[in-house]
């Protein structure tokens, strides 16, 4: 129902900044901790961030933590001041998706929208506004940094020099990685299973229409186990965070009405509308998945076993078999090559921990070139499927080296080079930028490196 997302962690620090204030650049007013060019850092910004870090479990001494937060804010303001000079801006919609995910994650972590509002003593609209402001600033900083470092490349000679300079006793150990191909079959006669799932959901819907509690029935019968704990409630989400079929139904409902049966790649849903706020909607749902019968599983496993034997005898190439028979859309057109479902990565090498449990158990005992026995597992939408695997290649766990880990080391060298360039840029930028620091922060050691003139 909810689209797969890259995993993210809501950082509640640095998110809640005060509004803009026009100040005389030569005069510090009460509660202003620093002026950097045309940018202002307020004392409340620092105090709120430090308090959030402490609540999150930071063990850093208070004075040290305060100076560290202050330093990060000063550097960020340098980049933002440069963005003003270079007329670099970011459109609001560039952060909309990230904003929605952070808001929803914050609500989930707090336990409810009311708890989040109580925690920050702000309305949800104000919280949303403040997070959006910070995300836009972060995007602007990234744009400035990309402009500063746009022509950076690492030559093979420079990469070798970088690698040889790394302390040998702290060289990272790279875990074992595997490259594999899959051939997947969905359960045969799955339409019958779907019909049975629809009928089960129709029966549940009839009970709701007859007056039974949607929340109670969601706890009893929904196969979305996480939302079932909350009576089926999934929290405020935008259209973009929902499967299209689910979103179309959810946004067409009115308060406490129940949808007809909605099919998505996750299964079948009935949806109850709770509340809408602008472009976000909060709903409950009950999910029922098609159930695979034992005879269907046996048929799929038998077909995969026959295909595996043909491939082992070299009567059929794995790539051809995947193209002709596999139901895994992402891999079949590539001859079965298994790739990451994250569109921004599309990597083909996996550690065992990145595979689901059934694939983990199968791959760990295979040899390169081997074809596995058929096994039952789940796909990226958590639906039951059947697969065989061909292990294309493997790299055992090893200490990082240029031959096997060139790209990872290159990325590390590139990050290191960018960091050095940013440090040099910050030093030069401080020299030509008006900077005024409040007396109460002048004990911070880092300020001696050019910040106080």
Query: What is the residue-wise DSSP string for 241-261?
Result: GB-HHHHHHHTT--TT-B---
Asked if residues 34 and 77 have their Cβ atoms less than 8 Å apart, the reply is yes
Out of 288, 319, 352, a domain closes at: 288
Looking up residue 363, the CATH number of its domain turns out to be: 3.10.50.40
Let me know whether 374 and 391 are in one domain: yes
Where helices occur in 185-315 by DSSP H, the ranges are: 190-209, 214-221, 225-228, 244-250, 294-312
Cα distances (Å, whole numbers) of residue 118 to 46, 123, 124:
21, 9, 10
Could you tell me if 183 and 324 lie in one domain?
Answer: yes
333 in the same domain as 283: no
In a domain, 161, yes or no: no
pLDDT at 237: 84
Judgement on whether residues 238 and 272 belong to the same structural domain of the protein: yes
Q: Is residue 19 part of a domain?
A: no
Q: Which CATH number fits the domain that encloses residue 115?
A: 1.10.4030.10
3-state helix, strand, coil in the chain (%, to 5): 50, 15, 35
In angstroms, the CA 40 to CA 18 distance is: 10
Q: Are residues 344 and 259 in the same domain?
A: no
- Predicted local confidence at residue 381, as pLDDT: 83
Looking at the domain assignment, is residue 7 inside a domain? no
| Residue at 12 is within a domain | no
Alpha-carbon distance of 78 to 137, in angstroms, equals 12
Q: Report the pLDDT value the prediction gives residue 18, as an integer from 0 to 100.
A: 35
pLDDT of residue 108: 72
Last residue of a domain, one of 361, 378, 399: 399
Q: Which residues of the chain have pLDDT under 70?
A: 1-30, 342-346
Reference 196, options 296, 288, 300; nearest CA is 288
Same-domain check for residues 128 and 115 = yes
* C-alpha to C-alpha distance for 4 and 12, rounded to whole angstroms: 23
- Looking at the structure, tell me whether residues 238 and 261 fall in a common domain: yes
Look at residue 204 and tell me if it is in a domain. Answer: yes
Taking the C-alpha atoms of 276, 279, 284 and 290 in order, what is their torsion angle to the nearest 10 degrees? 150
Cβ neighbors of 272 (< 8 A, separation 6 or more) are 208, 214, 232, 253, 256, 257, 258, 259, 283, 284, 285
Segment (H or E) for 156: helix 156-165
| pLDDT at residue number 5 | 33
Question: Which token pair is 356?
Answer: 């689901």
Cβ atoms 76, 37 nearer than 8 A: no
Verify that 44 and 147 share a domain, yes or no.
Answer: yes
Q: Which helix (H) or strand (E) holds 67?
A: helix 62-86
Compute the C-alpha angle 214/218/222, nearest 5°: 145
Residue 56's domain comprises 32-153+412-448
Looking at the structure, do residues 117 and 85 belong to the same domain, yes or no?
Answer: yes
Q: Taking a C-beta distance cutoff of 8 angstroms, is the pair 273, 255 a contact?
A: yes
Give the per-residue pLDDT at 204: 97
Distance CA 29, CA 24 (A): 9
Q: Tell which of 288, 320, 338 closes a domain.
A: 288
**Same domain flag for 365 and 379:** yes
What is the pTM for the complete model shown? Answer: 0.64
Q: Which tokens in the block code for residue 151?
A: 């022509």
In a domain, 253, yes or no: yes
Q: Is 281 a member of any domain? A: yes
Domain count, the chain: 3
- Examine the domain organization and report whether 37 and 124 are in the same domain: yes
Domain shared by 229 and 283, yes or no: yes
Which distant-in-sequence residues (6+ apart) come within 8 Å of 203 by Cβ? Answer: none
Residue 16 resides in a domain:
no
């Amino acid at each position: 129902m909810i689209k797969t997302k890259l995993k993210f962690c809501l950082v509640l620090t640095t998110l809640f900044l005060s509004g803009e204030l026009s100040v005389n650049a030569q005069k510090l007013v009460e509660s202003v901790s620093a002026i950097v060019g045309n940018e202002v850092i307020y004392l409340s910004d620092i105090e709120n961030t430090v308090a959030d870090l402490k609540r999150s479990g930071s063990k850093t001494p208070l004075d040290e933590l305060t100076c560290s937060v202050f330093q990060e804010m000063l550097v960020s303001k340098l980049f933002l001041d440069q963005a003003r000079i270079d007329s670099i801006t970011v459109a609001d919609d560039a952060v909309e998706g990230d904003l929605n995910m952070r808001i929803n994650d914050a609500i989930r972590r707090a336990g409810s929208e009311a708890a989040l509002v109580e925690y920050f003593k702000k309305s949800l609209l104000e919280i949303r506004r403040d997070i959006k402001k910070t995300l836009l600033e972060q995007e602007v900083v990234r744009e400035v940094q990309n402009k500063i470092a746009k022509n950076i490349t690492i030559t093979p000679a420079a990469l070798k020099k970088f690698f040889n300079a790394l302390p040998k006793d702290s060289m990272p150990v790279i875990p074992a990685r595997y490259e594999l191909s899959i051939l997947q079959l969905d359960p045969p006669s799955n339409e019958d299973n779907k019909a049975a799932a629809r009928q089960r959901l129709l029966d549940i819907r009839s009970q709701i229409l007859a007056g039974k509690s949607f929340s109670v029935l969601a706890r009893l019968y929904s196969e979305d186990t996480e939302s079932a704990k909350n009576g089926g409630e999934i929290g405020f989400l935008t259209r973009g965070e929902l499967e299209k079929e689910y979103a179309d139904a959810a946004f067409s409902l009115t308060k406490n009405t129940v949808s007809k049966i909605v099919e998505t790649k996750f299964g079948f849903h009935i949806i109850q509308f709770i509340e809408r706020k602008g472009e976000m909607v909060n709903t409950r749902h009950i999910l029922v998945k098609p159930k695979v019968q034992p005879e269907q599983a046996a048929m799929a496993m038998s077909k995969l076993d026959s295909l595996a034997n043909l491939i082992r005898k070299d009567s059929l190439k794995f790539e051809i078999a995947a193209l002709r028979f596999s139901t895994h859309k992402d891999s079949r057109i590539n001859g079965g090559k298994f790739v990451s479902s994250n569109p921004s990565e599309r990597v083909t090498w996996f550690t065992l921990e990145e595979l689901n449990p059934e694939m983990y158990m199968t791959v760990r005992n295979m040899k390169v070139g081997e074809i596995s026995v058929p096994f039952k597992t789940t796909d990226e939408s958590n639906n039951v499927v059947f697969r065989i695997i061909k292990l294309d290649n493997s790299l055992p766990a090893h200490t990082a080296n240029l031959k096997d880990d060139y790209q990872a080391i290159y990325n590390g060298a590139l990050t290191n080079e960018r960091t050095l360039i940013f440090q040099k840029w910050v030093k030069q930028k401080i020299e030509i930028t008006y900077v005024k620091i409040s007396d109460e922060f002048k004990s911070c050691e880092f300020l001696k490196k050019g910040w106080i003139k």
